[in-house]
């Protein structure tokens, strides 16, 4: 009886203390390619994905009611709902991206800026007074360029702040690895065992053309 009670308590403790991942409750529809990845990846994918969803809703309203009538009365209710819905759905990926940025100030800055551009772009889905149909289509399409530009800057910031790879020498960064010419290396010299292995491999490589010439 005591063992059963003890087992039950241990099981309860294990369930209660299991890690809760940032994307556990995220709708995979907003980042279908990154739902099982990091919060940063999901956030980056969700920005254009959710914008496209609401843009399509507004396009239907414009087709149905025209540019001037798309926001009259309740004509724009579906777009308003879409925007509010995704302001909520993107919260977890956004917060996860900020947490994953950690002390990388540049990454944090670009995550917040990308989020602000997204909010502004959603608000700009509402047609402006006296705006032409062609002008409206071009304007709302420009948001993707703004997204892509900021996403590229964010990726660079994340890469620059990434931890040193285990394959690099101690004290060597990713930038150092890129800047060094092929003839220069900061790594330690190979051990005698590795050098011996390399020297043994040379005759095998040179023997290949001889065997081929006999055929």
Q: Residue 126 has which token pair?
A: 């509402």
With 0-12 / 13-18 / 19 or more C-beta atoms within 10 angstroms meaning exposed / middle / buried, residue 88 is: exposed
In a domain, 73, yes or no: yes
CB 30 within 8 A of CB 93: yes
Residue entry with tokens 């059963």: 4
The whole-model pTM stands at 0.65
In a domain, 10, yes or no: no
One DSSP character per residue, 74-111 reads TTTHHHHHHHHHHHHHTHHHHHHHHHHHTT-HHHHHHH
- Report the alpha-carbon distance of residue 144 to residue 48 in Å, rounded: 7
- 180 and 99 in a single domain? The answer is no
Domain that holds residue 187: 174-205
Report CA-CA distances (Å) from 49 to 170, 187, 190, 202, 215: 40, 44, 49, 53, 59
Write out pLDDT tens, residues 112-164: 999 999 999 999 999 998 899 999 999 999 999 999 999 999 999 999 886 43
- Report the alpha-carbon distance of residue 168 to residue 145 in Å, rounded: 35
- Report the alpha-carbon distance of residue 122 to residue 210 in Å, rounded: 68
In a domain, 116, yes or no: yes
With 0-12 / 13-18 / 19 or more C-beta atoms within 10 angstroms meaning exposed / middle / buried, residue 182 is: exposed
Q: Angle at CA 9, nearest 5°, toward 4 and 14? A: 125
Residue entry with tokens 């800055």: 109
In a domain, 168, yes or no: no
- 129 and 184 in a single domain? The answer is no
- 76 and 153 in a single domain? The answer is yes
CB 181 within 8 A of CB 138: no
Span 65-80, average pLDDT: 93
Count structural domains, the chain. Answer: 2
11-15, 121-125, 150-154, 165-169: which has the minimum mean pLDDT? 165-169
In a domain, 193, yes or no: yes
- 151 and 182 in a single domain? The answer is no
- 77 and 178 in a single domain? The answer is no
With 0-12 / 13-18 / 19 or more C-beta atoms within 10 angstroms meaning exposed / middle / buried, residue 146 is: middle
- 37 and 106 in a single domain? The answer is yes
- 132 and 57 in a single domain? The answer is yes
- Report the alpha-carbon distance of residue 147 to residue 150 in Å, rounded: 5
- 156 and 54 in a single domain? The answer is yes
Residue 209 has pLDDT above 80, yes or no: no
Write out pLDDT tens, residues 18-52: 333 446 667 788 998 887 788 999 999 999 999 99
């Amino acid at each position: 009886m005591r063992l059963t009670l003890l087992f039950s308590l241990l099981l309860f403790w294990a369930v209660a203390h299991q890690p809760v991942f940032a994307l556990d409750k995220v709708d995979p529809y907003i980042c279908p390619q990154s739902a099982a990845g990091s919060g940063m990846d999901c956030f980056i994918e969700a920005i254009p994905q959710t914008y496209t969803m609401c843009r399509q809703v507004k396009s239907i309203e414009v087709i149905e009611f025209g540019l001037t009538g798309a926001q009259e009365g309740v004509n724009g209710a579906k777009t308003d709902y879409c925007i509010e819905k995704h302001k909520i759905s993107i919260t977890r990926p956004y917060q996860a991206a900020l947490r994953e940025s950690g002390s990388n100030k540049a990454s944090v800055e670009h995550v917040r800026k990308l989020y602000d551009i997204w909010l502004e772009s959603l608000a700009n889905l509402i047609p402006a007074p006296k705006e032409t149909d062609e002008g409206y289509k071009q304007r709302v399409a420009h948001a993707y360029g703004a997204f892509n530009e900021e996403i590229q800057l964010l990726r660079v910031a994340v890469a620059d702040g990434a931890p040193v790879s285990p394959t690099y020498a101690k004290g060597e960064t990713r930038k150092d690895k890129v800047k060094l010419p092929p003839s220069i290396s900061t790594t330690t010299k190979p051990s005698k065992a590795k050098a011996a292995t390399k020297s043994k491999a040379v005759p095998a490589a040179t023997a290949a053309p001889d065997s081929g010439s006999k055929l």
